[in-house]
Amino acid sequence: MSGDWHHGGHGRHGGPDPHGGVGTNTWWQPAAQLQQGSGPGWGCSGGNAPEHRSRSRRGWSPRGVPQQNNSVGYWPQADPYATYHGLVAHANYANGEPPAAKKHNSERSSSSHSSGSAGSKKSDSGGDEIVHFSWSVGMVLHDRYQIEELLGDGTFGRVVLAMDAKENRQVAIKIIRDVKRYMENAKIEAAILKDIRKADASGSSRCSLMYDTFTHDSKFFCLVLEPLGMSLYDFIKKNHFRGFWVQDIQVFAKQSLKALKFLHKELKMTHTDLKPENILLQTMVPARPSRFPREKAWQEAQPQKSSRSKAVPTYLRPVSADIKLIDFGNATYEHEHHSSIINTRQYRGPEVVLELGWNERSDIWSIACIIMELYTGELLFGTHENLEHLAMMERIVGKLPQNLLDGAGDEAKAKYLAQAPAGKSYGDGWQESKVWRLNWPDGASSPTSETHVACQDRLADMTPREHWLLSDFVASLLVHDPKKRPSASEALRHKFLSEQIEE
């Protein structure tokens, strides 16, 4: 294969389609794997999915506990740091599928900057507001950490900003509620973070650092962590889901893959829960007002009765695109038992849905979904159903390979696949046989589901010509067969991460 990029097929712009480019690395399977198509399917308006499906967010964590993520200090009156270091629960998967997803906003916890008391109380909305332990500004924990402010509350934890008198630096202290299962799982994550710190004391791997652990008042287990900024999900949400600049996405992608290279090669560990909520900006410096280079396209894509007719707040851009990965409560070492279900659904690879087993390459699929979401502002796979999810994979990325369908687990075959006749020649004769295929659209749960899948753009059609390297990069990661999916080290060689791309 030539070392030059080549163009194959015809895409949305007419003429040669740069989405067909393939580089020198033989593992790349970009647009060649994609189904080049005519864009939106039947029943779609302007290429968008029905409005009620377009911004559906996951409302549960892989541990089966609703997300409790809030914002971090960039916008006035934002609830700071509740996304910080995975304030969602650290319980392991319960049997099978996590609870049904709810609208994301309703799952956010409220937080207060005043002192709190133990127990729970009724919030203004009438629901139970979990409050942790009594605290006040100036309180000293573990004879060295002086509390400065509350950063956020979660279902099972509270995070405070404190000054470490011994090291003369600010730290974030994650204080676990006095509940046995929460403490046990927090200690599991602490052990993983200790391994990360041992292998990467400087934090250059782009994984978050834990400095210390201690028990407060003989009952509250505490993790002392580096203070970080807002999650990428909360940032994009505050910008009305307008996505990030491509230059910032290049940094996010490169640093995320660097972190995965460290986890996969040095620690033999799979994160298993990558999503924008678990990627945090490293800086705590407030964002700066900026133009959004794709504002016109974003406005045109909005449903007529939504944001297009309303005043949209000024777009903000982070002062630095440096990031850190967080929330290692479900990270799994290579030698450990691998749960059958991992990831928040929308970032789950086909091998997990089809019950084929998984390894560290599942993280690569997740990061690809995230990168495209950071560009478009929307979930790449906006679904809450496994069969619909698989159908979207075929629509957006390409047909699932036969070896994955043939090797699917019995339960997955019964639920999501069907057998279809296929003529095969054997020697001099011709024999009818049956092959497994996705049971779609016959198995669709509703006409709305079928329309939703048909409305999806092909991956190569999700970016304009000037950003073809981005969609080509994502395509190179979204390889259905995990055995052919690139490693983090290989993915870091893609041209998208080194080219200067103008907005």
**Residue 433: C-alpha distances to residues 57, 275, 477 (Å):** 41, 41, 33
Name the more confident of 313 and 262.
Answer: 262
Structural domains of the chain sorted by starting position, each given as residue range(s) with its CATH number in brackets: 34-59+244-497 (1.10.510.10)
Average pLDDT over residues 290-300: 94
198 contact partners, CB below 8 Å, separation of at least 6: none
Q: β-pairing, 119-122 with 128-131? A: antiparallel
Q: Is the pLDDT of residue 292 over 60?
A: yes
Read off the tokens for 48: 């968008």
pLDDT band at 69 (very low <50, low <70, confident <90, very high): very low
pLDDT of residue 427: 53
pLDDT of residue 28: 32
Contact indicator for 268, 361 with CB cutoff of 8 Å? no
CA distance 471 to 463: 6
pLDDT band at 132 (very low <50, low <70, confident <90, very high): low
Contact indicator for 208, 81 with CB cutoff of 8 Å? no
Phi and psi of 151, rounded to 5°? -100, -30
Going 377 to 352 to 405 to 364, the CA torsion angle's sign is: positive
Give pLDDT tens digits for 38-56: 333 334 654 433 333 344 4
Q: Is the pLDDT of residue 24 over 50?
A: no
pLDDT of residue 133: 74
pLDDT of residue 48: 39
428 is catalytic: no
Q: Is the pLDDT of residue 283 over 90?
A: yes
Give pLDDT tens digits for 227-274: 999 999 999 999 999 999 999 999 999 999 999 999 999 999 999 999
Q: Is the pLDDT of residue 18 over 50?
A: no
Residue 77 burial class via C-beta count within 10 angstroms: exposed 0-12, middle 13-18, buried 19 and up: exposed
Q: How many CA atoms lie within 13 A of 314 on its CB side?
A: 8
pLDDT of residue 37: 37
174 is in an annotated binding site: yes
212, 273, 363, 472: the active-site residue: 273
pLDDT of residue 312: 85
Q: Scanning the structure block, which residue is given the tokens 């390297």?
A: 469
Phi and psi of 390, rounded to 5°? -65, -40
Q: Tell whether omega for the bond before 227 is within 30 degrees of 0, i.e. cis.
A: no
CA distance 186 to 85: 11
Average pLDDT over residues 400-420: 96
* Residue 381: DSSP 8-state: S
pLDDT of residue 58: 41
Give pLDDT tens digits for 165-204: 999 999 999 999 989 999 999 999 999 999 999 999 888 9
Name the more confident of 47 and 321.
Answer: 321
Q: Is the pLDDT of residue 107 over 60?
A: no
